[in-house]
Amino acid sequence: MTSRTPLTVRVVKVVQETADAHSLILEPAQGSADKFRYKPGQFLTVRVPSEREGGSVARCYSLCSSPMRDENLKVTVKRTADGYGSNWICDRVTEGDVLEVLRPAGTFTPDSLDEDLLLCAAGSGITPVMSILSSCLHAGTGSVTLLYANRDEQSVIFRDELAALCRQYGERLTVVHWLESVQGRPTRTAVQALARPYAAHRAFVCGPGPFMDLTTDALARVGLPPDRVTLERFTSLTSDPFTVPEPEPEPEPELEVAPGNPAGTVEVELDGEKQSLAWPRESKLLDVLLAAGLDAPYSCREGNCSACACVVVEGEAAMERNEVLDAADLADGLLLACQALPVSDRLRITYDG
């Protein structure tokens, strides 16, 4: 393994949103702003020091800022009792600190900012949802309805900001708060009743697993088809995305292509540039790109996080593992580069679509 050169950001401000949630306002290192272009709902992978884990661990935190507005990058981290990364950030990170991060990534993002949206969030699941909400209101034309569940009023992240947006955008934004201290835990029946008027909307859901399962079931029962519902699920990374495997040694010419199994070719569009590469049948797309020196995004390398997602424009590929892309994503041509093997002889892939 070799160290990957990470991007760096400086913490220009720390905002305590609630008793257990901190926002970090981030500024890219000089000359690297173009590496931080992102879509509403995407996330950053942050390196967190850890002697126990051999030097560091990686954690993914959603960007709650909007790329459609002239504002700094912003991530919000909610402390959890057994969360090493969240406790380290909330306890240790202060203004002026420099963090190592990977490029923004993720597929929890709308295709259009002009659709009517139903956004369902619980707890810190509001972070990517807030990015989508503010982007659509600022740069789109559709209406936005937010169903937001929390333990109590004091745990509502972005409470004042949401209230200000309601005043600013009037009928275009509806916020429905669900407080467990007042109404008890959300139920499928209650979510169905709240969601029924918005059954024609495009839905995005983020929060703890039980909330997401309950909500997606409720949305299906009011008639929202699965391809109109997008989920955001994060799993803990077990590998270190800040290192890359050593490239395989170049094979001897006579052994380069196995008989009857020739390498295919792939044209890759990344950061506005195109490059054609040989894609051996047994090699994962991400490995091919990294070996060629391309700065392709990735994080877990395990098919769990969608950081490496790209779009197949032409040709066909298969994935060995996929834990995050749903049927709608696959229909749109999305592919996890870390799990992709070529099926057709020639493919075109884009990261810029």
What are the per-10-residue average pLDDT scores of the chain (353 residues)?
72 96 96 93 92 78 94 95 91 96 92 96 97 98 97 96 97 97 96 96 96 96 94 75 59 43 87 93 93 87 87 96 87 93 95 82
- What range defines the domain where residue 164 resides? 117-232
Are 96 and 148 contained in the same domain? Answer: no
Are 11 and 89 contained in the same domain? Answer: yes
Burial 29-64 (b: 16+ CB within 10 A, else e): eeeeeebbebbbbbbbbbbbeeeeeeeebbbbbbbb
Order of all β-strands in the sheet with 43-50: 55-62, 43-50, 98-101, 7-18, 21-28, 73-78
**Domain assignment of residue 251, yes or no:** no
Are 123 and 219 contained in the same domain? Answer: yes
- The per-residue pLDDT for 328 is 81
- The per-residue pLDDT for 216 is 96
- The per-residue pLDDT for 169 is 97
**Domain assignment of residue 52, yes or no:** yes
Are 226 and 265 contained in the same domain? Answer: no
- The per-residue pLDDT for 37 is 92
**Domain assignment of residue 92, yes or no:** yes
Q: Rounded to two decimals, what is the model's pTM?
A: 0.85
Are 207 and 266 contained in the same domain? Answer: no
CA distance 235 to 294: 26
Are the CB atoms for 292 and 277 separated by under 8 Å? yes
CA distance 143 to 146: 10
CA distance 41 to 63: 7
- The per-residue pLDDT for 256 is 43
Are the CB atoms for 83 and 42 separated by under 8 Å? no
- The per-residue pLDDT for 16 is 95
**Closest listed residue to residue 37, CA positions, set 325, 351, 330:** 351
For the chain, how many residues are written?
Answer: 353
Q: For residue 289, what is the domain's CATH number?
A: 3.10.20.30
Q: Is the dihedral of CA 74, 75, 78, 79 positive or negative?
A: negative
**Closest listed residue to residue 278, CA positions, set 265, 269, 294:** 265
Are 7 and 82 contained in the same domain? Answer: yes
- The per-residue pLDDT for 245 is 57
Are 219 and 129 contained in the same domain? Answer: yes
**Domain assignment of residue 168, yes or no:** yes
Are 196 and 268 contained in the same domain? Answer: no
What's at 75, amino acid-wise? V
Are 92 and 121 contained in the same domain? Answer: no
Q: For residue 94, what is the domain's CATH number?
A: 2.40.30.10
- Tokens matching residue 271: 């950061």
**Domain assignment of residue 245, yes or no:** no
Q: Which residue among 69, 101, 133 closes a domain?
A: 101
Are 86 and 136 contained in the same domain? Answer: no
**Closest listed residue to residue 133, CA positions, set 196, 190, 206:** 206
- The per-residue pLDDT for 261 is 57
Structural domain total, the chain: 3
Are 121 and 210 contained in the same domain? Answer: yes
Are 80 and 42 contained in the same domain? Answer: yes
Q: Is the dihedral of CA 291, 292, 295, 298 positive or negative?
A: negative
